[in-house]
Amino acid sequence: MVRLIAISNPRAGQAFIDYMASREIDIQMMPEGEGQFALWLTDDQHQVEAESELHAFLQNPTARKYQSASWEMAESRTAHFTYPKQGILASLRQNAGPFTLSIMVVCIVAYAGLTLGFGNEVFSLLHFPATDDQQWELWRLFTHALLHFSATHIVFNLLWWWVLGGKIEKLCGSAKLVQLFLLTALFSGLGQYMFEGPAFGGMSGVIYALMGYLWLMGTLAPSRGLSIEPSYVGFMLLWFVAGFFEPFGMAIANMAHLFGLVSGCAIAVFDAKFSRAARNPS
């Protein structure tokens, strides 16, 4: 998909969508927050034509041909901002990709093992390398993120993973989310291990990395379509600071949060400034 533009008037956006549909070119409109709506071209082989037509549309959005197209397409199009009834599983699939969902399933299975009498076995298999004989068991550098030790812990982390990871996977593809997961699980785990030792687990370091990634990408490269609601950032930063005071006596992997946040921000800076997409903007 190719992001064409962000607009504040969804009615005008729908008029352009209908006109392009009459030319058999599919444009999707997605809310971006703060009253903005992005227009996305689903097939990049039509990019030149779509951008040319968009330029003409912006010069005269009330032209008769756009109004006529809206009338012609009114009966056949599906409304973009309705909320049809659907099951939980359908909603999960709609807002996340295969890697997002796969990680959720693995975390749930691991948590079930911990709570159903296999705690020692599951923890021993997945925890961060702690002894000399485990240093070459490289999967441990990443699988510590799959461990959760309470219902609150796993629900909180997987909800954020679904929201943030799902958004990244939908917009950037599974490969980018896999890359982010592996790199930030590695760095957040190393940071926590250096300061607190190997007895930790959870996705929160990765979650803070995804938050930092979306936050900086929305600031440094808004044309890429990645962003995060400011209220989400505010809440997560508030919780980040509160974690150092261990509220309610909770054991919180603060160094994992810190190193995860820093690594996610660092990847965002690289992607925004030095990646191939940054060097060759569409």
| Cα 234 from Cα 237, distance rounded (Å) | 5
Is residue 116 within 8 Å of residue 157, measured between CB atoms? Answer: no
204-220 vs 254-273: helix crossing angle, rounded to 10: 30
204 is catalytic: yes
| Cα 43 from Cα 55, distance rounded (Å) | 18
* E strands in 34-171: 36-41
Is residue 226 within 8 Å of residue 218, measured between CB atoms? Answer: yes
Choosing from 46, 148, 257, 263, the catalytic residue is 257
| Cα 236 from Cα 207, distance rounded (Å) | 10
3-class secondary structure, 86: coil
Instruction: For residue 73, give both structure tokens.
Output: 């397409």
Q: What is the largest CA-CA distance in the chain?
A: 74
Choosing from 70, 204, 227, 263, the catalytic residue is 204
Instruction: For residue 98, give both structure tokens.
Output: 């295969």
174 is catalytic: no
Q: Which residues are catalytic?
A: 204, 257
